[in-house]
Amino acid sequence: MTEIMRSVVLLSFLAFGPLSIMSQSVSDPDLQSVRTFIQECAPARKKVNVLFRSLVESDGRLVKFDADSFYLKKGRKYFRSFYQDVLEIHGCGKAVSFVPDPSARPHGSWSDVNRVYAGTKILVILTDGRSVEGFSNSATNSHLIIIDRKTDSRLDLPKERVAAFFGLVGGRRGAKAGASKGSEGLLQPGGDPILGGAGAAIGAIIGALTKSDGRPLLIYSK
């Protein structure tokens, strides 16, 4: 995916706001935590930073809220977002986060992969312990389709080969090399490729966060 294409994706988000593509229900306590945060911060009209469940990041001045949504002001424009779409929010000296433990297994459902905004940096751990870095595209019932970072080509990965799917938020360097290098000494010869290879690779990612191409946010694992 070219830089121009990724820019178009981001501009589309800024124009229409975060997409509500929840495939996994958000618990009432989670919703109430976000509501409470908004209700306490809105009167001060402070700037807040938001990470949505689509893994899109945004910030702005919190100016208004209602029963199920809130409004951020960026320049002269107002953007409406829904409580249920918030994965993490912080500002005015407070923070609320639902970011999962990156080593959690199993986590989420296969359909959650399609919640991630198209063009987001991702890292996929395969059942043999190898990792593939690229950009999110889509997922069917049986396959994961991504754009390979190195070649900009389309990759079609069978669902049964995917052990874990991470979004990469922020960062400057590639996670693939660090994760692969970290997992080399952890693989168990003759062992279960899922428990050995994939588990080692996931552990290596956690141990190489500062060297990665962003903070790995777990979306799906089995």
Highest mean pLDDT out of 22-36, 112-126, 208-222: 112-126
Residue 47 φ then ψ, to 5°: -80, 135
Is 77 found in the same domain as 114?
no
Beta-ladder partners of 216: 168
**pLDDT tens column, 162-173:** 999 999 887 654
pLDDT tens, position by position, 70-102: 999 999 999 999 999 999 999 999 999 999 988
Report which residue type is found at 174: G
In this structure, the answer to whether residues 86 and 117 fall within a common structural domain is no
CA-CA distance, 220 to 208, in Å (whole number)?
19
Same domain? 72 vs 159:
no
Range of the domain at 129: 110-221
Identify the pLDDT of residue 140. Answer: 94
Tell whether 104 is covered by a domain: no
User: Could you give the CA distance from residue 185 to residue 159 in angstroms, rounded to a whole number?
Assistant: 26
State the CATH number of the domain containing residue 9.
2.30.30.100
| Two tokens, residue 131 | 């990792």
Q: What span, in angstroms and rounded, lies between the C-alpha atoms of 66 and 44?
A: 16
Other CB atoms within a 10 A radius of the CB of residue 210 amount to: 9
Q: What is the pLDDT of residues 95-148, one digit of tens each?
A: 999 999 888 889 999 999 999 999 999 999 999 888 888 999 999 999 999 998
Residues 12 and 93 in one domain: yes
Calculate Rg over the CA atoms of the chain: 18
Residue of higher predicted confidence among 132 and 36: 36
On whether residue 130 sits in a domain, the answer given is: yes
Same-domain status, 132 and 196: yes
Has residue 105 been placed in a domain? no
Q: Is residue 102 part of a domain?
A: no
For the segment 196-219, the average pLDDT, to the nearest whole number, is: 64
| pLDDT value, residue 129 | 83
Same-domain pairing of 10 and 32? yes
Q: What is the pLDDT of residue 211?
A: 54
